[in-house]
Amino acid sequence: MSTPDTPRVAIVTGGSGGIGRDICQRLAADGMTVVVHYAGNPDRAKEVVESLVAAGATATSVGADVADEKQVATLFDEVERLYGGVDVVVHTAGIMLLSPLVDLELADLDRMHRTNIRGTFVVNQQAASRLRRGGALVNFSSSVVRLALPTYTAYAATKGAVDAVTLTLARELRGRDITVNAVAPGPTATPLFLNGKDQDAIDHLANMAPLERLGTPADIAEVVAFLAGPARWVNGQILYANGGIA
């Protein structure tokens, strides 16, 4: 367990992405040492690290394919070598490929299965093995699991699997003083979400929420910071961060 003189250490998978970047910044602002994971863009991860260090934080970047158990084990090995242990794992890494079920390319289903489901299993296995007492694991689900929006069938199915892993793993870690939760964002203004949508579609999704706007990465990062830090009595939950859509 980290001490008041030893900052908590957080790994953020997909930490160079839209929501991931804000999560890294928010956890660093809370005094955590942040490891920015990336899959294929080391330069973007380096930019995030440089911004964190410039703000006075301790940070580094490490690459890995989240669905490759050897690479993910090496990622955790490197973090333990650098900082002595891991206290928080935030697993944001995922992909979203949209299509009505009848037109779905099964290759797209396989890609999402590999990253979103297998990747969650692999990262969660390492987190369950490595997190120190008092630690927190935060997975990423999606509000589309409950909203059942057309064209999201396969993506929602992969995130339903994330829910199942999260709820069960929280109980499997009984006695370890480790919380396991998931955040389920609603429509959030990130490149992943906005890609391929026209303005009418974006406006429609924004107006679904009683707050009449899209979420921002900072909105989601705030929820993650709560689960990663003070929320020690929140465990085995899926938190819907969607502005009240449902």
Residue 50 maps to a domain: yes
Residue 173 maps to a domain: yes
Residue 206 maps to a domain: no
Active site residue 155: yes
Using the predicted structure, report yes or no on whether residue 60 has a pLDDT greater than 60.
yes
DSSP state of 104: -
Token duo for residue 181: 């939760």
CATH at 222: 3.40.50.720
* pLDDT recorded at residue 4: 57
Residue 195 maps to a domain: no
Residue 197 maps to a domain: no
Residue 199 maps to a domain: no
Determine the structural domain holding residue 232 and report its residue range: 9-187+218-241
* pLDDT recorded at residue 3: 56
Using the predicted structure, report yes or no on whether residue 50 has a pLDDT greater than 70.
yes
Neighbours of 141 (CB within 10 A): 28
Using the predicted structure, report yes or no on whether residue 209 has a pLDDT greater than 80.
yes
Mean pLDDT (the chain) is 95
Structural domains of the chain, count: 1
Residue 29 maps to a domain: yes
Amino acid at 89: V
Of the chain, the end-to-end C-alpha distance in Å amounts to 37
Which residues in the chain belong to E strands, given as ranges? Answer: 9-13, 33-38, 59-63, 86-91, 131-140, 179-185, 238-241
Q: Long-range contacts made by residues 157-164, C-beta under 8 angstroms, separation at least 24?
A: 158/94, 158/112, 158/113, 158/116, 158/117, 159/116, 159/184, 161/116, 161/117, 161/120, 162/116, 162/117, 162/120, 163/238
Using the predicted structure, report yes or no on whether residue 245 has a pLDDT greater than 80.
yes
82-131: per-residue pLDDT in tens? Answer: 999 999 999 999 999 999 999 999 999 999 999 999 999 999 999 999 99
Residue 61 maps to a domain: yes
160-171: per-residue pLDDT in tens? Answer: 999 999 999 999
Q: How confident is the model at residue 1 (pLDDT cuts 50, 70, 90)?
A: low
